[in-house]
């Protein structure tokens, strides 16, 4: 009984007032969502959910995606994968993990910062039977606005008033201390990066009394192994969730789409703070995922963000987890 609803964009003007990316979204929406917006599954004995915060359509795809690549090459690849030319539609998938009395979110989605097609996490959590006050911990993969924007509501109040917030020490230092360096990024809009910094400082400061910094290799809650993989941001974190023999690897923002950056990790994306370092890190992590054949969760890959990575030619491809029932 999954009534599917087409959510229509309600106008770019409302978005422009609050979005750090006012000029980047365009085109009609094709967002489909189920009534619940969540998918429940297990890793070993652990209960997990993936909960959608929404999506963002980048049209045109360039210059954010593959900024130095010929448009023909991108369009050929999109076409070959049965996708619309000149556009990339990215998901915002939030992982939720229950361990004993802990209810842990991995990132918080966009909040009010990216317009009406995102910021749906609180409603979709409630639909899954989880009230925001039930959340005891939030593990931030990094400090970009689509990951920390959901910490505060439109009035500046904490959305998760009982939650402790965990973030990698180098990530915290990057945003909060001195002037963040975007000189190795290919992001075209300096006003936008200034807005990211402002948002990170506001949102992290709001949780200062319950903020915990972790370092590379720290294990949180006895089941989450953290690994700092710099490039996308200086403290960008991927995590491994363990239970018994089973593992799920949350790859964070290793890739922002399931075609362009998997097939050509070096084509890169403007969001990366250090474009070249991120490209190398992307190839290295994808190589590891393919060799280990480990289950993967991805924040930006198509809903519900679960699958595997395998080699394909000189690059990789995303193999979505086959789900027989919702």
Number of residues that bind Zn ion (CB under 5 A): 2
Rounded to whole angstroms, the Cα distance separating 93 from 99 reads 20
- CB of 215: closest distance to Zn ion in angstroms? 22
Rounded to whole angstroms, the Cα distance separating 255 from 299 reads 9
- CB of 54: closest distance to Zn ion in angstroms? 13
Give residues 173-232 in contact with Zn ion (rule: CB under 5 A). Answer: none
Only one of the segments 71-79, 119-127, 141-149, 284-292 lies at the binding site for Zn ion (rule: CB under 5 A); that segment is 141-149
Q: Which is nearer to Zn ion, 146 or 243 (CB)?
A: 146
- CB of 299: closest distance to Zn ion in angstroms? 6
Query: What is the phi-psi region of residue 313: left when phi exceeds 0, alpha when psi lies from -120 to 50, beta otherwise?
Result: left
Rounded to whole angstroms, the Cα distance separating 203 from 199 reads 6
- Helix, strand, coil shares of the chain as percentages rounded to 5? 25, 30, 45
β-pairing, 211-214 vs 164-168, is parallel
146 contacts Zn ion (rule: CB under 5 A): yes
- CB of 101: closest distance to Zn ion in angstroms? 29
117 contacts Zn ion (rule: CB under 5 A): no
- CB of 230: closest distance to Zn ion in angstroms? 15
Binding mask 223-262 for Zn ion (x = CB under 5 A): ------------------------------x---------
Q: Burial, 156: exposed, middle or buried (Cβ in 10 Å; 0-12, 13-18, 19+)? A: exposed
272 contacts Zn ion (rule: CB under 5 A): no
Angle at 148 between CA 16 and CA 145, to 5 degrees: 35
Interface positions with Zn ion (CB under 5 A):
146, 253
């Amino acid at each position: 009984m999954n009534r599917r609803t087409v959510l229509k964009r309600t106008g770019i003007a409302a978005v422009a007032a609050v979005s750090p990316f006012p000029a980047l979204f365009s085109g009609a929406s094709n967002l489909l969502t189920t009534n619940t917006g969540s998918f429940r599954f297990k890793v070993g004995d652990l209960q997990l959910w993936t909960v959608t915060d929404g999506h963002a359509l980048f049209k045109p795809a360039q210059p954010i995606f593959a900024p130095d690549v010929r448009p023909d090459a991108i369009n050929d690849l999109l076409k070959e994968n049965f996708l619309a030319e000149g556009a990339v539609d990215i998901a915002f998938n939030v992982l939720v993990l229950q361990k004993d009395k802990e209810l842990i979110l991995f990132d918080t989605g966009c909040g009010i910062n990216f317009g009406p097609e995102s910021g749906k996490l609180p409603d979709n959590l409630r639909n899954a039977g989880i009230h925001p006050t039930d959340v005891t911990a939030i593990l931030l993969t990094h400090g970009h606005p689509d990951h920390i924007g959901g910490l505060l509501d439109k009035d500046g109040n904490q959305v998760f008033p009982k939650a402790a917030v965990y973030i990698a020490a180098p990530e915290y230092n990057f945003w909060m201390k001195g002037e963040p360096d975007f000189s190795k990024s290919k992001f075209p809009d300096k006003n936008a990066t200034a807005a990211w910094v402002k948002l990170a400082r506001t949102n992290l400061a709001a949780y200062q009394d319950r903020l915990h910094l972790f370092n590379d290799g720290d294990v949180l809650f006895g089941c989450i192994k953290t690994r700092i993989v710099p490039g996308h941001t200086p403290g960008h974190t991927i995590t491994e969730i363990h239970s018994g023999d089973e593992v799920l690897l949350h790859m964070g923002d290793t890739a922002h789409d399931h075609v362009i950056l998997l097939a050509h990790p070096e084509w890169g994306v403007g969001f990366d703070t250090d474009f070249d370092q991120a490209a190398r890190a992307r190839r290295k992590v994808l190589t590891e995922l393919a060799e280990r054949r480990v289950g993967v969760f991805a924040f930006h890959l198509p809903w519900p963000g679960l699958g595997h990575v395998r080699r394909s030619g000189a690059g990789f491809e995303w193999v979505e987890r086959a789900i027989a029932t919702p």
